[in-house]
């Protein structure tokens, strides 16, 4: 037998060709999807903010933070700080209210105050205390020092006059008391304290912008709030009270003669008399007061544009913008980014809330150029509007503050002409307007004609005017 037949040779078996499987990608995709969902859920939890107060005033977990009458956040915890001298309040802002977490924002606890002159915070008597906030214009911030009292000046119309009155004694004057002209409240007392030289009492007052033309060089101020009783044999008894508000809190009254002199300036000092000279009560002056309701003045409407993001992978992108629109008889004019959702928004998801109504933004607005647009709609409060061409040289202007119904002055020295726009610069004395001014109307300081619209974005603040027909 052949030797090779006696030895069995190994038999080679063909191994099947292995193919790479894509199943290993499934866990990776699931992990990425779960991570995105967790991130989106975390973003929806809101923005954490820490505030310190000197007193808690009964604030507790679950109490609301309100702005413009709606809830924009909730208190997560209230605790005594480690230094035992302050209260730490941790809260979360709603995702759409992240712009409230900026430096310059002011927070305070609303609590009931009741006296003969009226009531404030009365809803907290039968309900929970709550926080209020006035937004700031600075950079994002998440730690704040809370206020012990509501900021009177911040709650009044901006653009008025702050005056320094001096008197021998305090009398019945107190913070928040009225400043009156012919028994009409035209301002408020901001503070009462000893003057820096300790020789008198310093009373800081604020006169609202619509009444600041009453303050002239010859304007006279005296303490109001007392009860004057005149009795005569034939005339009987006559009792005169300035107002219940002034009676309880004390107040300041003013009068001016027919020849009142030149207008006063911010910080000007006046003497505050204990009683009026009888002839002051007989003065009659004819001063034309500028009213915010003056015809031809643009009507500003607060607006909020919201949308849904088209992609789940962009949860960090915002879903809301806010600003101001100029209301015309059959349309509105304003920033283009406030009248159309951004490119990453889901088609058809745009909603524009203005003057208590909601409009579906179904079609793109009509472009007016320079970042402005026009959209057809009819609002309840509206007015006529004509733009004056933006001059090639910067002028003093006034920005119409729609929230307070007043104006804020911007000098020409703060403006730089760049092509078809005026750039607003920051200065040490006057910072450029922040995001809450986006869409505000800009008027000439001398003629009150509308020059343009203030746009505020990542590039800063600038004044623009329509470059195309349509307005």
> How many Å apart are CA 207 and CA 258, to the nearest integer?
20
pLDDT at 172: 83
Q: What are phi and psi of 40, to 5 degrees?
A: -65, -40
- The confidence band for 458, taking pLDDT boundaries of 50, 70 and 90, is confident
Percent of the chain topping pLDDT 70: 73
What is residue 88's predicted lDDT score, i.e. its pLDDT?
95
**How confident is the model over 111-142, as pLDDT tens digits?**
765 544 444 544 444 456 899 998 887 889 99
User: Which pLDDT score, from 0 to 100, does residue 180 have?
Assistant: 93
First to last CA, the chain: 113
Distance of CA 459 to the CA centre of its chain: 20
Instruction: Point out the least confidently predicted range of 314-318, 342-346, 356-360.
Output: 314-318
Q: What is the pLDDT of residue 4?
A: 52
How many angstroms from the chain centroid is the CA of residue 456? 14
Residue 377 to residue 245: CA distance in whole angstroms: 43
Per-residue pLDDT band at 471 (split at 50, 70, 90): very low
Over pLDDT 90: what percentage of the chain?
26
Closest CA to 302 of 471, 58, 67: 67
Return d(Cα 434, Cα 426) in angstroms, integer: 11
Q: Quick one: pLDDT band at residue 233, thresholds 50, 70, 90? A: very low
Average pLDDT, the chain: 79
Res. 53 pLDDT band, cuts 50 70 90: very high
Which of 82-91, 153-162, 177-186, 254-263 has the weakest average pLDDT? 153-162
Question: pLDDT-derived band of residue 298, with 50, 70 and 90 as boundaries?
Answer: confident
Is the model more confident about 399 or about 158?
A: 399
Q: Is the dihedral of CA 237, 241, 244, 247 positive or negative?
A: negative
Q: Which of the listed ranges 21-25, 124-128, 152-156, 363-367 does the model predict with the highest average pLDDT?
A: 363-367
396's tokens: 């003093």
Q: How confident is the model at residue 17 (pLDDT cuts 50, 70, 90)?
A: low
Decide if pLDDT at 221 tops 50. yes
- 46 against 201, higher pLDDT: 201
Of the listed ranges 106-120, 138-152, 166-180, 286-300, the least confidently predicted one is 286-300
Contact (Cβ atoms closer than 8 angstroms) between residue 338 and residue 353: no
Q: What angle do CA 50, 55, 58 make, to 5 degrees?
A: 90
Q: What is the pLDDT of residue 65?
A: 93
DSSP string, 119-137: EESTHHHHS--EEEEE---
Report, as an integer, the average pLDDT of 395-416: 75
For residue 239, is pLDDT > 50? no
User: What is the C-alpha separation between 238 and 282, in angstroms, rounded?
Assistant: 18
Q: Which has more confidence, 58 or 356?
A: 58
pTM greater than the 0.75 cutoff: no
Q: Is 205 helix (H, G, I), strand (E, B) or coil?
A: strand
- Band (pLDDT 50/70/90 cuts) for residue 271 is very high
Instruction: Measure Cα distances from 36 to 64, 92, 345 in Å.
Output: 29, 21, 18
For tokens 């967790």, what's the residue? 38
Q: Of all helices (H) and strands (E), which one includes residue 416?
A: strand 415-418
Q: Which positions ≥6 away from 279 have C-beta within 8 Å?
A: none
Mean pLDDT calculated for residue range 146-155: 81
Enumerate the β-bridge partners of residue 302: 324
Q: Each residue of 170-193: pLDDT tens digit? A: 888 988 889 999 888 899 999 899
**Residue closest to 466 by CA, chosen among 367, 322, 321, 379:** 367
User: Do 334 and 373 form a contact (C-beta atoms < 8 A)?
Assistant: yes
């Amino acid at each position: 037998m052949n030797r090779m037949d006696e030895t069995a040779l190994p038999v080679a078996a063909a191994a099947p060709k292995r193919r790479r499987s894509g199943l290993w990608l499934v866990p990776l995709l699931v992990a990425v999807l779960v991570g995105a969902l967790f991130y989106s859920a975390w973003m929806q939890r809101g923005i954490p903010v820490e505030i310190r107060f000197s007193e808690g005033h009964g604030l507790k977990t679950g109490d609301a933070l309100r702005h413009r009458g709606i809830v924009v956040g909730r208190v997560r915890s209230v605790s005594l700080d480690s230094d035992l001298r302050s209260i730490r309040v941790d809260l979360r802002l709603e995702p759409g209210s992240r712009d409230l977490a900026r430096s310059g924002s002011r927070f305070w606890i609303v609590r009931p105050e009741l006296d003969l002159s009226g009531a404030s915070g009365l809803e907290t008597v039968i309900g929970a205390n709550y926080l209020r906030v006035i937004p700031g214009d600075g950079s994002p911030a998440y730690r704040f020092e809370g206020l012990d009292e509501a900021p009177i000046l911040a709650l009044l119309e901006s653009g008025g006059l702050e005056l320094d009155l001096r008197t021998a004694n305090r009398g019945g004057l107190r913070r928040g008391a009225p400043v009156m002209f012919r028994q009409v409240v035209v301002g408020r007392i901001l503070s009462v304290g000893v003057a820096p030289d300790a020789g008198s009492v310093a009373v800081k007052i604020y006169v609202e912008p619509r009444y600041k033309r009453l303050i002239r060089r010859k304007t006279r101020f005296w303490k109001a709030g007392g009860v004057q009783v005149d009795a005569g044999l034939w005339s009987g008894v006559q009792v005169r009270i300035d107002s219940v508000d002034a009676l309880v809190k004390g107040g300041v009254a003013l009068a001016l003669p027919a020849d009142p002199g030149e207008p006063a300036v911010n910080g000007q000092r006046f003497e505050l008399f204990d009683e009026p000279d009888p002839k002051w009560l007989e003065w009659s002056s004819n001063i034309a007061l500028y009213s915010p309701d003056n015809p031809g003045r643009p009507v500003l409407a607060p607006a909020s544009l919201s949308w849904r993001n088209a992609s789940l992978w962009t949860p960090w992108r915002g879903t809301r913008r806010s600003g101001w629109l100029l209301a015309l008889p059959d349309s509105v004019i304003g920033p283009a980014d406030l009248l159309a959702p951004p490119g990453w928004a889901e088609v058809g998801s745009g909603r524009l809330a203005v003057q208590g109504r909601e409009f579906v933004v179904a079609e793109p607005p009509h472009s007016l150029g320079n970042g402005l647009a026009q959209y057809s709609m009819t609002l309840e409060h509206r007015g006529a509007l004509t733009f004056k061409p933006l001059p090639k040289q910067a002028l003093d202007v006034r920005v119409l503050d729609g929230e307070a119904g007043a104006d804020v002055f911007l000098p020409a020295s703060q403006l730089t002409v760049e092509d078809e726009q005026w750039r607003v610069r920051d200065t040490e004395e006057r910072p450029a307007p922040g995001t809450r001014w986006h869409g505000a109307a800009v008027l000439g300081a001398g003629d009150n004609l509308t020059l343009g619209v203030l746009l505020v974005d990542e590039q800063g603040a600038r004044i623009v005017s329509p470059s195309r027909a349509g307005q």
